[in-house]
Structure 1
């Protein structure tokens, strides 16, 4: 069985504006009351995948990244590079949550890895 998509991340030039846009467009409840002002999305449904909306800058480009669940982010990035992709963001820990990383596929598409 393949690995599922585990998270979506929307990075915006103006995160507050994006929070309002997506809340109104899709009826999402977006809670950005945290130190990073990262908007945690609550769709109000058990269907779909969880996600959030953050601010571009400091190396974060505007865009959408889907995070795929993997057992080992470092090993997965090594496999990415053998297949012709490249590491964009090396694995880093989100305390108490898991490990994230981002790579570019051979066409330059950004894809995330999520390790619990």
Structure 2
């Protein structure tokens, strides 16, 4: 069984990136560390808080960081989870994937190379 490094990333779908960015700046008390038209991210106390516009996400997704994304996906699907999005490289060798638990909750995995 592979372990996780815990939840370190939470992505939030947003409909208006500029309005959401202002709200999260006020909430977190800091400026974003990544600011682009397709993603705004904040590093807050060791967590990445991301705002994602124009996404198919319907609610925030918590991402568990793992050393072996394929191995962890095999474990969670064998235990009843269902693959939603296979691992894909989102830049810099970072792999992300999502799956659903038995109740349909969407969970994410991240592996940094």
Whether contact under 8 Å (2:61, 2:107) holds in the other structure is: yes
- 1: CA distance, partners of 2:35 / 2:27: 20
Of 66-75 and 1-10, the range deviating more from structure 2 = 1-10
In the alignment, does 2:83 pair up with 1:87? yes
Please state which structure has a larger fraction of its residues in strand. 2
Question: Which portions of structure 1, spanning 4 or more consecutive aligned residues, are displaced by more than 4 angstroms?
Answer: none
Q: Label 1:62 to 1:23 Cα distance change in 2 as closer, same or farther (>3 A).
A: farther
- 2: CA distance, partners of 1:25 / 1:6: 18
How many residues get paired? 110
- Pick the aligned partner of 1:33 from 29, 32, 35: 35
The gaps in structure 2 that reach 5 residues or longer are none
Whether contact under 8 Å (2:8, 2:46) holds in the other structure is: no
The gaps in structure 1 that reach 5 residues or longer are none
Partner of 2:54: 56
Q: CA RMSD in A?
A: 2.1
Q: Label 1:76 to 1:2 Cα distance change in 2 as closer, same or farther (>3 A).
A: closer
Deviation string 1:60-102 (CA, Å, 9 cap, x unpaired) is: 2132111111122122222221111111111001221411111
Whether contact under 8 Å (1:6, 1:114) holds in the other structure is: no
> If the length of structure 2 is used for normalisation, what is the TM-score?
0.81
- 1: CA distance, partners of 2:29 / 2:52: 18
